[in-house]
Chain A
Amino acid sequence: MDLNLTSEELQFRDELRSWLASNVPKDWNEWREKPIEESFPYLRAWQRKLQEGRWAAVSWPKEYAGRSATLMQQALFWEEMARVEAPPMANSLGLGLIGPTIIAYGTEAQKQRYIPKILSAEEIWCQGFSEPNAGSDLAGLQTQAVLHGDHYVVNGQKVWTSYGWVGDWCELVVRTDATAAKHKGLTVVLVDMKSPGVEVRPLRQMTGESEFNELFFRDVRVPAENVLGKVNDGWNVAMSTLMYERGSYGARLHLIFKRYITRLIELARNIQRNGRPAAQDPIIRQKLAQCSAEIEIMRFNQMRAFSRLTATGVPGPEGSIQKIFWSELNQRLQQIAQEILGSYGQLLAGDPRAIDNGMWSYAYLRTRGNTIEAGTSEVQRNIIGHFVLGLPRSY
């Protein structure tokens, strides 16, 4: 065990730090509150800049303009990005999930066709996985693809699609064999979102905004060469995408949560409770301390999981504890924020009396989604029960 950074890790971090110091945009705060449709060109430009510095896809192999970064270096990348409050990249799904899947499963022609434009944010990618009747039970999905000569005809509906409204391409999971067992009849196809028959609708969520879309496919023609991996092997391809999702996401959360708790402590020093600052109220102190400690433990768990993954080479189902841990912790954190803010906690952005321009009321609502998106807490507990502890399958 050695928690000091190695010289390679230090070099990686310092190179990134100095690059960020001279390249990270200074005006992101003016843009971040604007609707995403307005700020999207800004995010594309930021990604192009990162790509010019070869920082857009550090985890990718060097031959695909990545840096073959180790997991620890990837974690450092996200920490540094969070530290300077860098804007997100426009094509985050393409870079984080779909690109790596294409690199792993794609043909040479597919890699040459798609990878450069993922990197340059010229083509934005979205993911068509969940359906109205296939959420946790993803393998039960019904969107159908039927082969007609050299192309498939796709019919069906997808939901909870991030970046659907701006997506040029979609990694779509479809059923190609309705007679096979449910995991065995699936295929991943790459679909041009400008194809006739594709319709994108915004999905308004409980926070009032629309981060996600619904996608409708009516007789959409997809060339047979756009199959990613093997026909009817789509479950494995899709699962590999989800593994990337669980692998990289947690790394940036530590500093984000830390920023929350630091701000909350600052607020607690200035908000009066029972005639003294909330920061001196013993119960508030207990709760803030618990939260601070858990934020650190989240980071320790993450470092241990990364070390294990580096040693064994395979992302394990232990990633599931990370998902449960951060999502439930974020909810507890927002609950404490509400307790400290009291009546002010309910004020939304736009009310002149809202604290931090309504950030806390927004986060309180938004974090309810955390234990649902990217695999519900219940599904994560099933994964631990079955795959980690070896208990019999419950369904």
Chain B
Amino acid sequence: MQFGLSESQEFLKDSARKFFAGECPSAQMRRLMETDTAYDAALWSKLTDQGYTGIIFPEAYGGVGLGKVELMLLMEEAGRALLPGPFFATVVLAGSVLDSVCSPAHKQKYLAPICGGEARSTVAILESNASWNPRDIQLNAANGKLTGEKYFVSDAAIADFIIVVARNGVFVVNAKAPGLKISPMIAMDLTRKLYVVEFNNTPAEEIGAITGLARAFDVATAALSAELVGGMQRTLDITVEYAKTRKQFGKPIGTFQAVQHQCADMYLETESSRSAVYYAGWALEENSPDAAIAVSIAKMYASDAARTVGNRGIQIHGGMGFTWENDVHLYYRRAKGSETAFGDATFHRERIASMVIDAGGVAAKSA
């Protein structure tokens, strides 16, 4: 048993970190978050050159064919850089849905352009009730047309096509389709834009059944948790650096145990989230019977931890932590958006409860 990264995994993580540090430093991230879509075509083509847009997808569709652990590592580094724009929506979410639910012909049509960096996409799931329980979805397709609305759809304005989850199937709607209206929701996270997507007798192409979604959503949920880990790590690093240099009462504030112990807790929360995320990535890759519960454990823990780490980071920065120019609040805003996406900690605790209490212990069997 080896719960550490292999040489090639270390290499991938390391080169991703360097790539994002070079191509998406804080100044670039801040520039993009002030734009309407937070999308940058030049950055996207560099992401494509790295192979990141096809990281986990089959080579038949122009992907790189790496595993879920590698996806976790890439998303961790993207999260550390607070990568703005539609990478999560397009590659992780839309890509995984296409990979799970549709036929080879549809994959060639929709997944291949994602891998090749030619298309941006997203998945429209939530409705006005904002429930992550798939049973609460109301939208129905009739005669190849959709009428209704979806909320909290990330990066919809930059998508070339939108994947829509309806009660009776998974559909693709072209960005130029008639009756499609996309309007921004003004939300906390400035780096990942959210939209209301309205359909009015809008033509939609059915690409698969909703039964295939669980697996894709598990991959996306784990990857989002990995992104949270990267954000936590960056918040911890910035905060520790500040605690070493900021002086009050004649010494660095990191000398004081009240500060030091909060940093220690940030470390514990970050590392524990990371352990849970890596395990979830491995369980998904191995199709382990505890993969679903492992994903919920990771999302549950990371959702709470990211908020707590942010709380502590802001507090330790004192007045500086409350300013706009300090990056900590930008991570904190992302953490809030990601906390609720794909179910918050309360949602996943109930999912865990249904598995360990009601089903008599999926987790118990795995040990």
Q: Which of B345-363 contact A (CB under 8 A)?
A: 346, 348-350, 352-353, 356-357, 361, 363
Q: Which of A134-177 contact B (CB under 8 A)?
A: none
Determine whether B364 belongs to the interface, using a CB cutoff of 8 Å to chain A: yes
Determine whether B265 belongs to the interface, using a CB cutoff of 8 Å to chain A: yes
A303: chain B residues at CB < 8 Å are 1, 3, 275
> B72: nearest residue on chain A (CB-CB)?
A1
Partner of A389, one of B3, B255, B267, B279: B267
A286–B367 Cα gap in the complex (Å)? 22
- CB pair A2–B357 under 8 Å, yes or no, is no
- CB pair A265–B271 under 8 Å, yes or no, is no
Determine whether A289 belongs to the interface, using a CB cutoff of 8 Å to chain B: yes
Determine whether A208 belongs to the interface, using a CB cutoff of 8 Å to chain B: no
B267: chain A residues at CB < 8 Å are 321, 384, 388-389
Determine whether B257 belongs to the interface, using a CB cutoff of 8 Å to chain A: yes
- CB pair B275–A300 under 8 Å, yes or no, is yes
Determine whether B69 belongs to the interface, using a CB cutoff of 8 Å to chain A: yes
Q: Which secondary structure characterizes the binding site on chain B?
A: helix
Q: Which of B4-12, B134-142, B155-163 contacts A (4 or more CB under 8 A)?
A: B4-12
Give the interface residue-count category, chain B.
35 or more
- CB pair B3–A292 under 8 Å, yes or no, is no
Most buried by B among A286, A288, A289, A311: A289
- CB pair A300–B352 under 8 Å, yes or no, is no
| Cβ proximity bits B236-267 to A, threshold 8 Å, 1 near / 0 not | 00001001100000011011110111011101
- CB pair A1–B3 under 8 Å, yes or no, is yes
- CB pair A293–B297 under 8 Å, yes or no, is yes
A293–B74 Cα gap in the complex (Å)? 24
Determine whether A20 belongs to the interface, using a CB cutoff of 8 Å to chain B: no
Q: Which secondary structure characterizes the binding site on chain A?
A: helix
> A320: nearest residue on chain B (CB-CB)?
B264
Number of A-B pairs, beta carbon distance below 8 Å: 166
| Cβ proximity bits A1-12 to B, threshold 8 Å, 1 near / 0 not | 111111001000
Give the interface residue-count category, chain A.
35 or more
A297–B293 Cα gap in the complex (Å)? 12
Determine whether A378 belongs to the interface, using a CB cutoff of 8 Å to chain B: yes
Determine whether B301 belongs to the interface, using a CB cutoff of 8 Å to chain A: yes
Determine whether A285 belongs to the interface, using a CB cutoff of 8 Å to chain B: yes
A388 to chain B, nearest CB (A): 6
A1: chain B residues at CB < 8 Å are 2-6, 9, 69, 278, 282
A301-B272, A318-B271 as given contacts; A384 in contact with B4, CB under 8 Å = no
- CB pair A393–B255 under 8 Å, yes or no, is yes
- CB pair B356–A265 under 8 Å, yes or no, is yes
A394–B258 Cα gap in the complex (Å)? 10
Most buried by B among A72, A262, A303, A391: A391
> A269: nearest residue on chain B (CB-CB)?
B357
A394–B263 Cα gap in the complex (Å)? 13
> A2: nearest residue on chain B (CB-CB)?
B2
A3-B282, A258-B364, A292-B363 as given contacts; A286 in contact with B263, CB under 8 Å = no
> B274: nearest residue on chain A (CB-CB)?
A304
- CB pair A254–B367 under 8 Å, yes or no, is yes
- CB pair A285–B349 under 8 Å, yes or no, is yes
B352: chain A residues at CB < 8 Å are 289, 292-293
- What are 24 sample pairs from A and B whose C-beta atoms fall under 8 A apart? A1-B69, A255-B367, A265-B361, A286-B349, A286-B350, A286-B353, A292-B352, A292-B356, A293-B297, A293-B352, A296-B363, A297-B297, A304-B271, A304-B275, A307-B3, A311-B4, A325-B272, A382-B260, A382-B264, A384-B263, A385-B257, A386-B260, A389-B240, A392-B252
- Chain B interface (Cβ < 8 Å from any Cβ of A): 1-6, 9, 69, 240, 243-244, 251-252, 254-257, 259-261, 263-265, 267-268, 271-272, 274-276, 278-279, 282, 286, 294, 296-297, 300-301, 346, 348-350, 352-353, 356-357, 361, 363-364, 367
